[in-house]
Amino acid sequence: MHDPDKTRFLQTVHPTIIQSHRPSVQWSRRRFALSMAAGIGGIFASSVMPSSAYAVLDTLKPLAMPSPKTGFLGADGQDTRLADWRGTPLLVNFWATWCPPCIHELPSLMRLDQRLRQQNMAVLLISVDRAGIDKAQPFLEKLGIAGTELGFDPRGDLAKSVGIKALPTSFCINADGIMTAQIIGDVEWDQPAVIETILPYLSA
């Protein structure tokens, strides 16, 4: 079914992209990524994630770049920046209510946050829903997702600044505000092998 919110996000992040009219593809757990292919157009199902809790081992891309200064909205609806969490390592996850794999990984992200808090780290969920906090926060509450840091990027400014091309996409950011890794696709975040993999990037 056509989702205008999804289309508006595409046009915001990649203005030249137009929604594809190709047939819908059935989503399978951990094998679905909402890919935005520049120059090709549209969102389509892409089997970029192996059906395994250890997918992060295959899709993690090391980085070494400062966090962008681009603003977005915090849980209180006020302007904020990633730098406001400086001193706290973050797993930053970009998601949307219209993205099935994003929804699938939300519970494990909440459990990961509970684990990371024990080491003075945290998970920051950033919704790219066009309707912002009014749509995303009630959605999370309905799912029972609580305790994580929250952000809202309704105009897609932050998503564009970090080069988001698929949802969900996550970044590891260390205490100095350096983006140390990128992971594309949904993951069972609270699996021991996954935690062991991302911790060095968070504490780098």
The beta strands (E) that lie in 96-141 are given as 122-127
Encode pLDDT of 133-176 as tens digits: 999 999 999 999 999 999 999 999 999 999 999 999 999 999 99
**CA atoms in the 13 A half-sphere facing the CB of 101:** 31
Judged against a pLDDT cut of 50, whether residue 19 lies above it is answered with no
CATH numbers and ranges of domains, the chain: 50-202 (3.40.30.10)
pTM of the model as a whole: 0.79
Judged against a pLDDT cut of 50, whether residue 10 lies above it is answered with yes
Encode pLDDT of 79-110 as tens digits: 999 999 999 999 999 999 999 999 999 999 99
Structure confidence at residue 127 (pLDDT): 98
Structure confidence at residue 55 (pLDDT): 52
Identify the residue whose tokens are 């996000």.
Answer: 9
| C-alpha dist (Å) from residue 61 to 11, 56, 108, 179, 182 | 26, 9, 21, 11, 5
User: Whole-angstrom Cα distance, residue 194 to residue 192?
Assistant: 5
